[in-house]
Chain A
Amino acid sequence: MSALQLIKKLCRHKSVAFSLFVIVSVVFASLFASWIAPYDPNKQFFEGLTMEGAPLPPNSTFLLGTDLLGRDLLSRLIYGAQTSLIIGIVANGIAILIGTLVGVTAGFLRGWVGNVLMRMTDLMMAFPALLLAIALAAILEPSLWIVALVIAMVNWVQVARVIYSETIAISSREFIAVERTLGASTRRILFSHLLPHLLPTIMVWATLGISTTVLLEATLSFLGVGVQPPTPSWGNIIFESQTYFTSAVWLVLFPGTLIVLLSLSFNLVGDALRDELDPSLKGRD
């Protein structure tokens, strides 16, 4: 099945088509931010604040209003998409990668290797995630990539746990035993037979994880160990302005909606992709 066919199939459902549209537009916005954004995201406009110094609600000059420093919210959101996507995809991707690696190794090999790996995972889990993130971020110089790494370090443990138990369940299924009797190598069993069965679980985590990582990044930014201002991210836009939520509702509403919309879209597309890629659901009536 070619990629085009796959996309066509996915678009049969309106919700999935819409989700794909959302993802594509966010990716597009972050890639071409400098062309699309109406203003410089860090420029503080004198006319962006009222005489009393309050931010402006959406108007014809500033389509989505301005923030506390008189910066254009729309421009900040467009540039913020870069940060959030990088965090959401890179941090989450690393977390999934580490988690899957640890989970599969521990679940497939069992024995002392599995024990050591899983006790290590438990140890990481027992640590308060936020504390760990703050500690790591404090030691390392905060930058976008470091933040992504820190979030990955905190988030891989849950993935490892889930993949571990999945792996145990699948490797005790008979078709894996059959592969052994046929003489298949461990590598072949892992990549050709085990991983395809883990794919749905990985897919669900990958899509669910995006929203949690975006939010974790926001928390870290709020605590001052995340993405450093003035670089915008959806998370730190919310946190900067959360105390003004009642008087400047747009400052929380728009970035909040975007986070929800993006993670929902990833979830829906992930689900649809999983169903489409599972051949054992085909031809069922």
Chain B
Amino acid sequence: MSMTVPDSAQAGKTLLSVENLSIEFGQGQSCKRVVDDLSFNLNRSETLCIAGESGSGKSLSALAIMGLLPKMARTPSGAILFHNEELLSKSEPEMQNIRAKQIGMIFQEPMTSLNPIMRIGDQMMETLKRHRIASGDAAWQHIRSMLDAVRIPKVSERLRQYPHELSGGLRQRVMIAMAMLCSPQILIADEPTTALDVTIQAQILELIRELQKEYQTGVLMITHDMGVVAEMADNVVVMNRGVMEETAPIRTLFSNPAAAYTRQLLAAVPRLGTAPPLSERPERPPVLEVENLSVRYPMRKNSLFEPPREVHAVDHVNFVLHEGETLGLVGESGCGKSTTGRALMSMLNFEGSIKVLGKDIRGLKGSALKAIRQDIQMVFQDPFAALNPRKTIAELVGEPFLIHGRGNSEERKERVAQLLSQVGLPEADAMTRYPHQFSGGQRQRICIARALALNPKIIVADEPVSALDVSVQAQVLDLMEDLQSQYNLSYLFISHDMAVIERLCHRVAVMFGGRIVEIGSRDQVLHNPQHPYTQHLLSAVPIPALDSKRDFRALLEDSKAPDPIKPKGYQSKPSQYGEINQGHWVALEA
């Protein structure tokens, strides 16, 4: 094989050193400094994590290293030294030779970083050809061995596939294989696992670790997730609004953080296994009863003669939500948890029965359905998408009153002000402003205020904090808890994040392949998981604490959900459950 192997004699231990890097946008008065005086060193075989919340300038720093800053950015000041060579003064053709060959990069969203109309094999071949690393059979050999190294099954088949034919996890593996193809000395990973499920995240992190060991790569990892930091980093740079708050070895950072911001950040991160014990709760009446809930979508036919098929998105789901209780619905993408939430809101057709305060909502229409909506409301994941950008906050929060004909305009205004102060937005001018003038966390508060307007008993919260930064996450969760105790609300809390579930929920249901595989009290499910899938899921969660590195190797083999596509009219059997403990039910293997 004619690939270049990193020459260990070529340089000392330091691969990359960034010195006093500053990046500015715009000219003159409107000039904004987005990265301010950033310095760090990256050594061979070492992982450096740049951690920070959105807007901290962490991604821009990485782009600056790659010479890929957007055009609006002024030429950064400071120095970026790669083997003591200044990268900032290099021309574009020179940088093209360094990219991929010396410094590889993987991005957050693998689908948008792969060319959608090029076969996987051809895309990888292009890189090899571009850098004249190998050609012909030797190149194909190399590509195969790289795809093997990232544990992609059925390599020959994959080479001929297009990106959309692969799952998100496989796509990210292809991205890593591509980035590592020329054996770069540095791998920059910009939030490589943020768009992925936890079990897939664990796989990707494990792969990066393995590859790093094999090739002595220096890994520069950008992440907002302190769990990933704890799992991967040797050294950490903490950034906040473009300023480097702290740089420290991982041990010091977690045991003795110097900067106040770091302490704040670490305190805000929910940690699996650290939630305070639940107080004894008396038996309360149920407010929401779901029995044999199934949701099916018809599949589009590929040909005229194909028999009609359906996707079984939710399959025989049963649960009960009690008054003043939070039930967590946890699972990975595509498990049917959001579909369940939408069925509860009568946003789609379903089979089975959903009883809201004892009243079956199936088939309700018009005013009967409208009446039910006063009792059950929903908070959505993306607070910006959920707010009409052309309406003021007063109009948005006052909308439910208008729809349900409550109060006159004076009373409405008063109620809106009251609701806004309850969710922590007491400023008088908040009413007349528009959604884009608020931050993500504030927007989610507005959504919560709107959901609360009609005094509902039940709130379905679909990933309400997933789009928010951790520090804001904690505040919104606190708010939800306060409101619950104040109004005796019941939450159905849909999330993929185990730590958030543990923090807020009294009971937890785990969904897999459209079914609930395990349900019980929080402690029963999270601390004594019985179903193999629950165990699998819990073992994949990275823990933001020292010496909690987890062994993800067992997770490298994909656990496959059963195929949800069935012929039309197929009657699936409901799962059988066994009761392990009082109230702790586990699906029995069929």
A contacts, CB < 8 Å to B? 173-175, 177-185, 188, 193, 196-197, 278-280, 282-284
Contacts and interface: CB of A to CB of B under 8 A. Distances in A.
Contacts of A197: 390
Contacts of B382: 174
Contacts of A182: 373, 377, 399-400, 403, 450
13 contacts: A175-B385, A177-B380, A178-B450, A180-B345, A180-B347, A181-B378, A182-B399, A182-B450, A183-B400, A184-B403, A279-B392, A280-B434, A283-B434
B535 to A, nearest CB: 34
Given A283-B434, A283-B436, A283-B437, A181 B377 contact: yes
Interface string B379-411: 010100111111010000001100110000000
B213 interface: no
Interface of B: 345, 347, 369-370, 373-374, 377-378, 380, 382, 385-390, 392, 399-400, 403-404, 433-437, 450
A179 B399 CA distance: 9
Contact of A184 (B385, B389, B392, B399): B399
Contacts of A180: 345, 347
A183 B382 CA distance: 20
Nearest to A193: B388
A285 B56 CA distance: 19
Contacts of A181: 345, 347, 373, 377-378
A180 B433 CA distance: 23
A233 B400 CA distance: 52
8 tightest Cβ-Cβ pairs between the two chains A and B: A280-B389, A174-B385, A183-B373, A183-B370, A175-B388, A181-B345, A174-B386, A181-B378
A188 to B, nearest CB: 7
Contacts of B392: 279
Given A183-B403, A196-B390, A173 B373 contact: no
A284 B436 contact: yes
Contacts of B377: 181-182
B267 to A, nearest CB: 32
A222 to B, nearest CB: 44
A175 B450 CA distance: 12
Contacts of A279: 389-390, 392, 434
B556 to A, nearest CB: 36
Nearest to B376: A181
A139 to B, nearest CB: 41
Contacts of A196: 390
A73 to B, nearest CB: 47
A280 B373 contact: no
Contacts of B374: 183
Nearest to B392: A279
Among B373, B388, B433, the one with the most A-chain Cβ atoms within 10 Å of its Cβ is B388
A185 B370 CA distance: 9
Contacts of B435: 280
Nearest to A278: B390
Given A180-B347, A183-B400, A280-B389, 10 more contacts: A177-B347, A177-B380, A179-B399, A183-B403, A188-B403, A278-B390, A279-B389, A280-B435, A282-B434, A283-B434
A178 B389 contact: no
Nearest to A196: B390
Nearest to B460: A181
Among B370, B382, B392, the one with the most A-chain Cβ atoms within 10 Å of its Cβ is B370
B234 to A, nearest CB: 40
A183 B450 CA distance: 13
Given A193-B388, A196-B390, A283 B403 contact: no
B436 to A, nearest CB: 5
A157 B433 CA distance: 38
A279 B393 CA distance: 12
A283 B390 contact: no
B400 A175 contact: no
A188 B399 CA distance: 10
Contacts of B373: 181-183
B380 A174 contact: yes
Nearest to B385: A174
Contact of A178 (B378, B433, B434): B378
B403 A280 contact: no
A196 B390 CA distance: 8
Among A174, A175, A177, A180, the one with the most B-chain Cβ atoms within 10 Å of its Cβ is A175
